[in-house]
Amino acid sequence: MIDVPGRPIPLAVRVSAPAVGGDLPVIVLSHGHGPSNFIPSFYGYGPMVNFWAAHGFVVIQPTHLDATFLGLRESDDPDAPLYLKSRAEDLRQVVDHLGDIERTVPGLAGRLDAGRIAAVGHSAGGHTVGLISGQTIIDTSDGSTVGAVDTRFGARVMIAAPGRGEDLNGPAAEPYAVLTSTNFDGMTPKVLIVVGEKDWIPYFSDRQDWRNDPYTAAPAPKTLLEFFDAEHGLGGISTFDAAETTDENPDRVAAVRALIWAYLRSELYPEDPAWARATAALTGSTAPIGRVESK
Interval 178-220: pLDDT, tens:
999 999 999 999 999 999 999 999 999 999 999 999 999 999 9
3-class DSSP assignment, residue 183: strand
Interval 9-66: pLDDT, tens: 999 999 999 999 999 999 999 999 987 777 887 888 999 999 999 999 999 999 999 9
pTM: 0.94
Any idea what the CATH number is for the domain that residue 84 is in?
A: 3.40.50.1820
2 occurs within a structural domain = no
Q: Is the dihedral of CA 53, 259, 123, 243 positive or negative?
A: negative
pLDDT band at 240 (very low <50, low <70, confident <90, very high): confident
7 occurs within a structural domain = no
Q: Can you tell me the distance from the alpha carbon of 41 to that of 117, in angstroms, rounded to the nearest whole number?
A: 20
Radius of gyration, CA atoms only, the chain: 18
How far, in Å, are 126, 177, 183, 202, 204 from residue 167 at the CA level? 17, 12, 11, 11, 8
42 occurs within a structural domain = yes
CB atoms within 10 A of CB 92: 17
Of 74, 64, 24, 58, which Cα lies nearest the Cα of 43?
64
5 occurs within a structural domain = no
| pLDDT score of 31 | 95
- Count up the domains in the chain and report the number: 1
3 occurs within a structural domain = no
1 occurs within a structural domain = no
23 occurs within a structural domain = yes
| pLDDT score of 290 | 96
SS3 content of the chain, % helix, strand, coil (to 5): 30, 20, 50
Residue 237's domain spans which residues?
13-294
6 occurs within a structural domain = no
